[in-house]
Chain A
Amino acid sequence: MLFNSHSFIFLFLPLTLLSFYALASRGTFRHALFALVFASLFFYAWWNPIYLPLLLASIAVNYVLAIGIHRYRSKSLLVVGVVLNLALIGYFKYAGFFVEGINDLTGTSHTLHNIILPLGISFFTFQQITFLVDTWTGNAKRYSLLDYCQFVTFFPQLIAGPIVHHHEMMPQFQQTTILDNVRENLSVGLSIFIIGLFKKVVLADSVAVFATPVFDTAQADLTLTIYEAWIGSLAYTLQLYFDFSGYSDMAIGLARMFGIRLPLNFNSPYKASSIIDFWRRWHMTLSRFLRDYLYIPLGGSRHGSFRRSLNVFLTMLLGGLWHGAGWTFVIWGALHGFYLLINHLWRQWRGHTSNAKAHWAWMVPAHVLTLLAVVFAWVVFRAESWDAALSLWQSMLGFNGIAVPSSIAAVLQPLNALPVIPEFTSGGLFRNQLFELKDAILWITGLIAIALFLPNTQQIMHNFKPVLEDLKPSSVQWQPNWIWLCVLSVTAIYTLLQLTGVSEFLYFQF
């Protein structure tokens, strides 16, 4: 069940809210929590009931291990827990990848039966590892089974994050003052949910139609023109941001409807002025997890600049692998690791000049370069194979020629003799006919403007503390008044009418 499905919006969510508040209003907050856990498990089972026992078993084993670690201060139990969790995710997510790697290396042809990846396994597994580690280090208290279940299964963040930390969630599950702010929580939560739904359904899904055919064409071993490649890459850059941040907004809004604040996950990442800045704004809860549970345990920056660089690179490499079991994700992680190393070296060389003091003549190129580096890396993240990514990169860089209108091609013809300049070819600027050019330009330009110049959801909702972190507020602030009611009602109606549609065709002749 997706957040942007009719069944979720019109059945699951209203029923869950009603049962939660009905129980809470009778003064039985623990019963309300129990109903919420039950609803979350139902939400998970809706996708594939077969994996519900897996989730329950994972919770049970980790909870028992946490009690053991807490009671006996046993490192062995911690090791067992971490190994079990890694084995679980290793089997379901990475087994095929490793078998394929072994086959490639040894020339064997081992096969693995088709393993379906359980939804959200990357999220609930790593959340529980952090809990075990923190229990062992003494940074986690002992919680009731109900609270622990709620921490792991809370449906707004179960499938696609944000990756939550027990110390920020557990205290909220124990509050009994949930009914004090019901109206505000529902107002804020519903408003954020509508904005997130709009970002996902209207913005992300609309721009996706310009990205998908480009990547499919590259996968089919066909050559793209430089313009097609850039449009496809930019479209995917925007699709991914509006999709993922829209989903995160929906999660934040849903949680708030139940009186729970989630951590911020996106803070206008394409406004970043450097790659370091980008990773402080993009999938922030993952960055936090990687920093606290990978980078710092690896040694962080405590053993000199070489070790720090190595740790950064390894962290990003594994961060890439976290996103998916494939070499393209590893390469994407490595590319960002490489970017970060360059960024750190640049800062060392230039000194720690703060962004606030930087001159616009520095900042504009910095923003542009950062965004280009990010776009370039998203290509390998989205591509289904290394060959497809390489082909797209080649087209983007002009190695497959730069198509220009016939009239200009004749003028540029002499330049083709020069070895360093890409070859100019005549006509066929969009020869693969992958999209309507005018629509693509309008959508991409519009969404870039939104991503770069408009405040994000959390900044607009700042006065009502939508997330755990504090952000700089925007000049426009949401209020539960008539104006916002009209704006968001129209947004909701428009978005809900776009949830589904018919594939109408235009027939040229008859």
Chain B
Amino acid sequence: MNYRTLKNYPLLLALVPVLALVCVALLNYFVDPYRIFSSDKSALYSDYPALHPNLRLHKAYQVNYQKPDTIILGTSKAIQGVPLDHSYFNEKSVYNLAAPLASMREIHHLLLHAQSNKPLKEVIFVIDFLSFNVLARTDGPAAGFVEGRLKNPNDTSVYWPDYLAATISADALKASVSVLRPADSPSHRVLNGQGGRADDEIASRLSDGGHRSNSQKIEAFFVDSVLLAAPYRRYATSSKQDDSLVWFERFVDEAQRLGMKTTLIIGPSHTRYWELLNQGGLWQQFEQWKSAMVSINDKIAKKYYKPELPLWDFTLPNAITNEVFPAAGDSDTKMQYYYEAVHFNQYTGALMLDRISDQVKEPLPENFGVILNNDSLSRIHAELRDGLQHYREQHPDSLDELQQALPE
């Protein structure tokens, strides 16, 4: 079938796509679904479904705008567990720069990025064992780390691909539509203007089976995708291509060299999670990991003739970390300290901040937060081992559940 030949075919074929793209770019710019063109510290982004899945992009640009003097680094434990409204952060311009499943390499680059925007006064780094596994998957929740977008002292140039992606891309268009039509978007995680999340919003997601059920799901996920992730099914702090302890050393070196107040915290996950590591055959590596951090911290302190960075360990068994889990299927009972075994809640996070600031307002177990160094290392190893032995004896039902989380 012959249709009439268009005289202006080439002009139209060039102009129609360009005009369409200009419209898309303008829409995306004004809707700004990733919030990279503006900043609002007091915002609660409840109508931005694409924000949390792209929080690495979002946070990198928010740091550019807000230029905080205090940042929080780490993984999802830091995002969910550190309360930004705690008095610890009074008079500080704080931003939570943590990212889910962030690797040690990423965390180091985030530190440089924030520092390049404005010299930092303080850093709180909630250290995660999983950040040191160089064989962990880089897709899933770890996706989205783009080294080029993060500034460093030698390169503070504009990273244009982000601006193109946030304006003339199908992803951005979809994200803008989700902002304009929130009713069509499924329930999503809500970030606030300082990069954190609200405690009650996270807790509201625990209705499907309760704490124990949620623990089982996330334990299976952590084992399968992070700690013993396919295809390697191994945990290693170094490979031919990468060495996470080297990145940690650079991190500590940077903090000491610049003299920024830096607090390192191994967060208060539930004892059940530490037992999961044990059941997964990772206990020796877990202890070696702690030892290596102590050693690096000591080495860098000596290099700069300064005291070691405070390395807090909240892993020891006590009334908080041994909180009893509700029975399976019990979705009514609310735990006081945990969302599930991996993630402590913001009440626990507040207690953690109380401890490190020596501002304890209520009686806390003595071993909830101890300094990890060469002197305490062996004692802490032994105490945690004993605690796990005790946990196994007291909770045989949990052991069966943990075994189910492990790969065949």
Contacts and interface: CB of A to CB of B under 8 A. Distances in A.
Contacts of B205: 510
B381 interface: no
Contacts of B224: 433
B260 interface: no
A220 interface: yes
B53 A505 contact: yes
Interface in B216-237: 217-218, 221, 224-225, 230-232
A265 B80 CA distance: 55
A507 B21 CA distance: 30
B382 interface: no
Interface stretch (A146-154, A408-416, A478-486): A478-486
B141 interface: yes
A492 B142 CA distance: 32
B231 A505 contact: no
Residue with the greatest number of chain A CB neighbours at <10 A, chosen from B52, B169, B339, B343: B169
Contact of B80 (A190, A488, A510): A510
B10 A183 contact: yes
Interface string B1-32: 01111110110111011101100100000000
A108 interface: no
Contact of B57 (A492, A502, A507): A502
B64 interface: no
Contact of A498 (B14, B169, B408): B169
A250 to B, nearest CB: 15
B24 A497 contact: yes
For this complex, into which size category does the number of interface residues on chain B fall?
Answer: 35 or more
A323 B225 CA distance: 37
Interface in A181-231: 183, 186-187, 190-191, 194, 217, 220, 222
Given A479-B5, A501-B171, A503-B143, A190 B14 contact: yes
B164 interface: yes
Given A434-B231, A507-B189, A508-B141, A482 B100 contact: no
A181 to B, nearest CB: 11
A6 B96 CA distance: 33
Nearest to A191: B13
Contacts of B319: none
Interface in B132-185: 139-144, 146, 161, 164-166, 168-173, 175
Nearest to A434: B231
Nearest to B167: A500
Contact of B144 (A222, A433, A505, A510): A505
B165 to A, nearest CB: 5
B125 interface: no
A502 B232 contact: no
A506 interface: yes
A431 interface: yes
A6 B225 CA distance: 35
B141 A220 contact: no
A222 B231 contact: yes
B232 A222 contact: yes
B147 to A, nearest CB: 12
A190 B6 CA distance: 14
Given A220-B232, A222-B232, A433-B230, A505 B10 contact: no
A498 B170 contact: yes
A47 interface: no
Contact of B169 (A186, A482, A502): A502
B165 A500 contact: yes
Contacts of A342: none
Nearest to B13: A190
A353 interface: no
A499 interface: yes
Interface in B48-100: 50, 52-54, 56-57, 76, 80, 100
A190 B17 CA distance: 12
A466 B171 CA distance: 34
Interface in A130-162: none
A501 B165 contact: yes
B3 A482 contact: yes
A500 B172 CA distance: 10
A510 B3 contact: no
A492 B100 contact: no
B21 A496 contact: yes
Given A505-B100, A509-B217, A432 B231 contact: yes
A56 interface: no
A180 interface: no
A488 B189 contact: no
Contacts of A482: 3-4, 6
Contacts of A494: 170
Given A6-B164, A191-B13, A433-B230, A509 B170 contact: no
Interface in B227-252: 230-232
A104 interface: no
A493 B15 CA distance: 11
B202 interface: yes
Nearest to B343: A510
B173 A497 contact: yes
A508 B17 contact: no
B214 interface: yes
A433 to B, nearest CB: 4
Contact of B170 (A431, A501, A507): A501
B336 to A, nearest CB: 18
A176 interface: no
A485 B16 contact: yes
B233 to A, nearest CB: 9
Nearest to B224: A433
Residue with the greatest number of chain B CB neighbours at <10 A, chosen from A183, A480, A482, A499: A480
Contacts of B10: 183, 186-187, 190, 480
Nearest to B57: A502
Interface in A463-495: 479-485, 488-489, 492-494
Contact of B143 (A428, A434, A483, A505): A505
A12 to B, nearest CB: 14
Residue with the greatest number of chain B CB neighbours at <10 A, chosen from A427, A428, A489: A489
Interface string B191-214: 000000000001001000000001
A493 B21 CA distance: 7
A509 B217 CA distance: 8
Contacts of B161: 500
A485 B6 contact: yes
A120 to B, nearest CB: 24
A483 B4 CA distance: 10
A485 B53 contact: no
Contacts of B140: 505-508
Nearest to A430: B230
A497 B170 contact: yes
Given A220-B231, A482-B6, A505 B141 contact: yes
Contacts of B5: 479-481
**7 nearest interchain CB pairs?**
A432-B231, A186-B10, A480-B9, A481-B3, A433-B230, A492-B17, A497-B170
Given A186-B10, A504-B50, 13 more contacts: A183-B9, A217-B231, A431-B231, A479-B3, A482-B4, A485-B13, A489-B16, A492-B17, A502-B171, A505-B140, A506-B140, A506-B141, A510-B80
13 contacts: A479-B5, A482-B4, A488-B13, A493-B17, A496-B168, A497-B21, A497-B173, A498-B170, A501-B165, A501-B172, A502-B144, A508-B140, A508-B225
